[in-house]
C-alpha cells in the first residue's frame, strides 16, 4: 500500500493505492492536518508515503507529524533531471515545483505522445511534454479565483460575487467569472497551438485540479479530465 499526498495552497489531497487501484481517497482544506489524521485512522496502514508539498515549511512539519504514527517510510517529492519516463527540460531542474513534476510523470504514464499537462487550481499551469517524454517548459498564471479576487480588490466598482459562465455575460458577476475562464482557456489553447507546431502533430491535453471541470468545456474536444494527475505521478515516483 502506498499513500500519496498532494499538499497545495488551497487543499491537501490524498489517495491510498494498493498497486492496482485506488482504495481510498480524500481532501481537506490546506492546513487542516487534524482532519487528515482523523481520516487516516480508518485506512489500512501503508508501506510507504510519497508527498508533494508546495505549501511551505509549516505544512511540511504538520504533515510529518500526521504521517509519523501511520507510516515510517515517508519520501518528499522533488523534481529531478529524469524520472518516470520524463526528462526535465527546466533550466534548473530542481526549481520545478514537485506538484508539476509529479503531474508530468502521471501524464506520461497515461499518454505517450505529445501532451499538454494542465493543472487548474490556485494557479493554472500548462506544461508541455513532447513525444519522447521531454518536458519542454510551461506557464503559470493566476487561477480562476485569484483572477476574480484581483479584480475585486483592485477596482472600486467591482465586488467579488458568485457567477456562472456565459458566452456573452449580461451582468457583472457572470462577466467576472466568464472573463477569468476565457482567459484561462485562451492561455491553454495558445500553449496547445505552440506545442502542435513544436511536435508536428496535434497534442493531447490532460486537465486536472479543482477547476478543471469548469475549464474543460472551453478546451478542444480531445482534452480529457484526469481526477488528480499529481497523485497518479506520486504513485509512480514511489517505485524505484
Residue with cell 506520486: 234
What amino acid positions are annotated as catalytic residues?
99
Burial class (CB in 10 A: 0-12, 13-18, 19+), 159: exposed
CA distance 169 to 184: 17
**DSSP code, position 45:** P
Pull the grid cell for residue 193: 497551438
**DSSP code, position 80:** -
C-alpha 9: how far from its chain's center? 11
CA distance 230 to 228: 5
Amino acid at each position: 500500500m502506498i499513500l500519496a499526498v498532494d499538499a497545495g495552497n488551497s487543499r491537501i489531497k490524498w489517495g491510498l493505492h494498493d498497486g492496482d487501484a485506488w482504495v481510498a481517497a480524500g481532501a481537506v482544506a490546506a492546513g487542516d492536518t487534524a482532519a487528515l489524521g482523523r481520516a487516516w485512522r480508518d485506512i489500512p496502514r501503508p508501506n510507504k508515503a510519497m508527498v508533494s508539498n508546495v505549501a511551505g515549511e509549516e505544512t511540511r512539519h504538520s504533515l510529518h507529524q500526521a504521517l509519523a504514527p501511520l507510516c515510517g517510510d515517508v519520501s518528499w517529492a522533488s523534481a529531478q533531471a529524469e524520472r518516470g519516463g520524463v526528462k526535465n527540460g527546466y533550466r534548473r531542474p530542481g526549481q520545478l515545483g514537485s506538484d508539476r513534476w509529479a503531474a508530468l510523470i502521471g501524464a506520461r504514464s497515461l499518454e505517450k505522445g505529445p501532451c499538454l499537462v494542465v493543472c487548474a487550481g490556485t494557479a493554472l499551469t500548462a506544461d508541455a511534454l513532447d513525444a519522447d517524454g521531454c518536458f519542454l517548459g510551461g506557464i503559470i498564471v493566476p487561477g480562476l479565483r485569484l483572477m476574480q479576487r484581483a479584480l475585486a480588490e483592485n477596482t472600486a466598482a467591482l465586488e467579488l460575487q458568485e457567477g456562472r459562465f456565459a458566452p456573452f455575460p449580461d451582468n457583472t458577476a457572470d462577466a467576472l467569472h466568464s472573463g477569468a475562464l476565457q482567459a484561462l482557456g485562451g492561455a491553454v489553447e495558445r500553449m496547445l497551438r505552440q506545442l502542435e507546431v513544436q511536435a508536428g502533430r496535434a497534442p493531447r491535453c490532460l486537465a486536472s485540479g479543482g477547476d478543471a471541470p469548469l475549464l474543460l468545456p472551453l478546451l478542444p474536444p480531445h482534452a480529457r479530465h484526469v481526477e488528480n494527475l499529481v497523485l497518479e505521478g506520486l504513485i509512480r515516483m514511489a517505485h524505484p
